[in-house]
């Protein structure tokens, strides 16, 4: 019977909202005061207006400081009535709060709740496995404030354990982008299932926030020309290189560097072996000599101990080490020997 009544009360609370606890507390206060005035002796301090409201609050909240208390048996019954009314009120309040919190959590997990952030990074599009890797890499790079905006085919938050907000809906619809706060975002990644969808979303995003750093992942990089018609500041990266995607998001402009290095003509990346005749060479000496003489920048070195990216300036390179560098052309061993000697 008790279980049935509690379930009935909980259902009643959910249907009445916040009105029920207000009605209960007002009714108990309005009826208990005159009853207490009848039950207590004439001139009792308890029923004075300045005191009774305080007595009602601490008694209904089941705190009971004891500074005011009824003196008669009838007054004790009225006090018990106030306690029961307070418990009923607190029950309705806590039930309603739990319902509100549960509904809010459910709305967030379903992606229908607007996010309340700014200066954040929005990831538009979801591909199982790939998006998780991109999020993990961004978090490892120290990027915070991530919002995932996925299509209707994603029914619930795919990464609830990660610090990522979730919005669901058609990303070409202004209302969906507004819920993802794209208009307040600093960076937006468009990572859609195909290039046509990516182009459509890029147009919508650029309209919603023309100041954001927008990165579009494309399978066919020839489509990049179409994206530039929308906004030449939009950066296009190869879809098949997720690491380049995350680097462009975290460090705007890095994709241009990779593109330049992979394009014929101009600076490119090369490797060559340090001549055995040089013996051990200081890293600083090698870097300075190649940079001043040939405009080459040493990126890494491979020794017997393995590959070292950005070797320390105060280190040494054993004879026969392989150098990886950026320069206008490939250097011969004779040129390296002449410059470093």
Tens digits of residue pLDDT in 136-171: 999 998 999 999 999 999 999 999 999 999 999 999
Residue 179 has pLDDT above 80, yes or no: yes
With beta carbons less than 8 A apart as the criterion, state whether 319 and 278 touch.
yes
- 22 and 93 co-located in one domain: yes
Residue 1 has pLDDT above 80, yes or no: no
Would you say residue 116 lies in a domain?
Answer: no
- 133 and 197 co-located in one domain: yes
Question: Which helix (H) or strand (E) is 327 found in, with range?
Answer: strand 322-327
Identify the domain boundary among 110, 140, 166. 110
- 248 and 282 co-located in one domain: no
Would you say residue 115 lies in a domain?
Answer: no
* Domain ranges, residue 322: 268-340
Q: Which residue has the higher pLDDT, 20 or 120?
A: 120
pLDDT digits (tens, 9 = 90+) for 247-269: 888 888 888 887 777 666 667 88
Q: How many domains does the chain have?
A: 3
Residue 89 has pLDDT above 80, yes or no: no
pTM over 0.85? The answer is: no
- 235 and 273 co-located in one domain: no
What gap in Å lies between CA 14 and CA 22, rounded to an integer? 14
What gap in Å lies between CA 42 and CA 49, rounded to an integer? 14
Q: What's the CA dihedral at 61, 64, 65, 69 to 10 degrees?
A: 130
Would you say residue 148 lies in a domain?
Answer: yes
CATH number for the domain spanning 156: value is 3.40.50.720
pLDDT digits (tens, 9 = 90+) for 47-71: 888 888 888 888 777 777 777 778 8
């Amino acid at each position: 019977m008790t279980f049935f009544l509690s379930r009935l009360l909980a259902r009643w609370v959910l249907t009445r909202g916040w009105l029920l606890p207000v009605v209960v507390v007002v009714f108990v206060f309005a009826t208990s005061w005159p009853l207490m005035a009848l039950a207590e002796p004439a001139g009792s301090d308890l029923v004075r207006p300045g005191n009774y409201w305080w007595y009602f609050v601490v008694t209904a909240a089941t705190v009971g400081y004891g500074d005011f208390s009824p003196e008669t048996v009838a007054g004790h019954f009225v006090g018990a009535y106030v306690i029961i009314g307070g418990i009923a009120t607190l029950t309705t309040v806590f039930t309603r709060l739990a319902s509100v919190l549960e509904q809010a959590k459910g709305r967030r997990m379903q992606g229908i709740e607007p996010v309340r952030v700014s200066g954040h990074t929005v990831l538009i599009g979801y591909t199982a496995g790939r998006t998780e890797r991109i999020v993990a890499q961004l978090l490892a790079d120290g990027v915070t404030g991530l919002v995932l905006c996925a299509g209707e085919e994603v029914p619930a938050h795919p990464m609830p354990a990660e610090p990522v907000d979730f919005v669901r809906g058609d990303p070409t619809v202004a209302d969906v982008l507004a819920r993802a706060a794209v208009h307040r975002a600093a960076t937006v990644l468009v990572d859609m299932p195909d290039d046509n969808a990516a182009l459509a979303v890029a147009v919508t995003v650029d309209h919603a926030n023309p100041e954001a750093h927008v990165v579009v992942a494309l399978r066919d990089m020839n489509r990049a020309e179409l994206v530039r018609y929308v906004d030449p500041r939009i950066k296009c990266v190869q879809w098949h290189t997720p690491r380049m995607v995350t680097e462009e998001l975290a460090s705007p402009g890095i994709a241009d560097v990779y593109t330049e290095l992979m394009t014929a003509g101009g600076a490119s990346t090369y490797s060559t072996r340090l001549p055995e005749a040089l013996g051990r060479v200081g890293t600083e000496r090698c870097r300075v000599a190649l940079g001043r003489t040939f405009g080459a920048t040493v990126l890494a070195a491979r020794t017997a101990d393995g590959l070292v990216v950005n070797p320390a300036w105060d280190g040494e390179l054993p004879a026969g080490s392989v150098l990886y560098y950026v320069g206008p052309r490939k250097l011969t061993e004779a040129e390296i020997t002449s410059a470093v000697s």
